[in-house]
Amino acid sequence: MRGGRLFSIATCTVAVAAGAMAMGCSDIGIGDGTGPAVSSPGGEGSAATSEPATTLPLTQTPEYIASNTPCPQGLTELGATPLGEVAPGRSLTLVPYIDLAEATVMVFDSAGAAGGGFVGDRRGRVWRFAPNFAAQAGRDFGAIISGEPVADFSSNTAAEHDQGLVGMTLGPDGRLWINRTDRHGSSVLTVLTPRADRSTLESRYADVLEVKQTNAQHNGGALVFGPDGLLYVSFGDGGGLGDPHHHGQNLTTPLGAILRFAVDDSGSTDAGDWRLVPAPGNPDLGTASDPRIWAYGARNPFQISLDAVTGTLWVADVGQQCMEEVTVLGLDEAGANLGWNSYEGSRRFVGTELDNHREPDFEYRHGRGLCAVIGGHVYRGSELDWLTGRYVFADLCGGDIYAVAVQPGTEPDEVWSLGVSTPRPVGFGVDAAGELYVIDIETGVWRLAG
């Protein structure tokens, strides 16, 4: 992989503003569904072409028809109950934290003596931020970001539809990992090294993975390290109405899957020498399958998060025509098939029935002001202790923030509407104390407070 030095995402039921990531509902501006080849399991230099799934006219394909068929009656509605009705006397507010237009990702850096962390925007720029504490009583009054980006990939980042800087996490050794789409539309994972005082980044960086995308939609892009130091990365199905290339059930492509890697550093401290290799314990999914796949059958798992208390990975998968879904996977569930495009949530979509469909643990019908689930985190803080153990999430179109208690294998508890919203939420952050922050692509970052 290359490296170098820093230089310098039919129509939706509810229209999505032009500046927001187009992640939900039927697709907008999908073109003809063709595009660059998809990386084969052999990696760079051994790409396999992605052929159209059918020669039928687009409007006659099963995927197109299913994507434009009205939703049936009886699907699970979100049905959120106002917070005041379920928890009288409880309230939630959003406190401005970072004023940054087009913010998409953030991570808190517990290794820094002054706290704070890194925040990025859709165009591929990263800033360092630090808390702005009042002199009296140590109250946090938001954060101050660096005057200039500490990393700037804007000249090599595409930012249409679902593209841009879409993933960020810190590795076990404190290095910063980002996932963005480059100017050719490929998803690229890059490792950056903070300087000793954590105030900025070293100039050198290393690209350690490239996945070619079929178009500018459903790129996925979240990444998180597990407690065992393994890296989980989510990729969408590559776009098109209803997954026309059938990537979700294609085990030879990384698209429509969650990949799991071990970092092979070969004893080197230089990330330019590192390789990402299939993690030990990844499932054997058959001849010619991609050994990097940990779970598959996803449409656009735009956000994933790890709940360290339960050791579970929460996968928020944006739906196509009717359903939004959240699946809670144990880290021992290697090989889980989330079902797309045979299923959308627990609902049959197209193709064949599956005998290994891992149904979602929580789902809701979109439409009626809802269009795309924005995954968050299980709350583990102390300021809002009445939220402990509940999964806090949002919806792109509605903008409201919700919480639900989910236990795999049981019916979810009632959904709480927390009474706060932002114009276009695209993600969440969590600090070292377990407190939550919502990232809004129009207005920046907001802290959830009591």
Q: What is the CATH number of the domain that holds 400?
A: 2.120.10.30
Q: What is the pLDDT of residue 59?
A: 80
24 occurs within a structural domain: yes
pLDDT reported for residue 31: 27
The domain total for the chain is 1
What is the dihedral angle through the alpha carbons of 71, 17, 59, 374, rounded to the nearest 10 degrees? -50
Task: Examine residue 39 and state whether it is found in any structural domain, yes or no.
Answer: no
Kindly state whether residue 411 falls inside one of the protein's structural domains. yes
Is 10 part of a structural domain of the chain?
yes
58/244 Cα distance (integer angstroms): 9
Question: pLDDT value at position 140?
Answer: 56
Domain membership flag for residue 45? no
Rounded CA separation 150/13 (Å): 39
pLDDT digits (tens, 9 = 90+) for 155-179: 999 999 999 999 999 999 999 999 9
Paired strand residues for 395: 373
Quick one: pLDDT at residue 14?
A: 34
What is the side-by-side order of every strand in the sheet holding 391-395?
81-82, 416-421, 400-404, 391-395, 373-378
402: nearest Cα among 430, 431, 434, 436: 436
> Would residue 413 count as lying in a domain?
yes
Counting residues of the chain whose pLDDT is more than 90, the rounded percentage is: 78
Put simply, whether the predicted model's pTM sits higher than 0.85 gets the answer yes
Is 361 inside a domain boundary? yes
Residues in the chain predicted with pLDDT less than 70, given as ranges, are 1-55, 111-114, 133-141
In a domain, 65, yes or no: yes
Per-residue model confidence as pLDDT tens digits over 164-221: 999 999 999 999 999 999 999 999 999 999 999 999 999 999 999 999 999 999 999 9
The predicted pLDDT at position 136 comes to 41
- Structural domain including 157 reads 3-32+52-449
Q: Is the dihedral of CA 70, 73, 75, 76 positive or negative?
A: positive
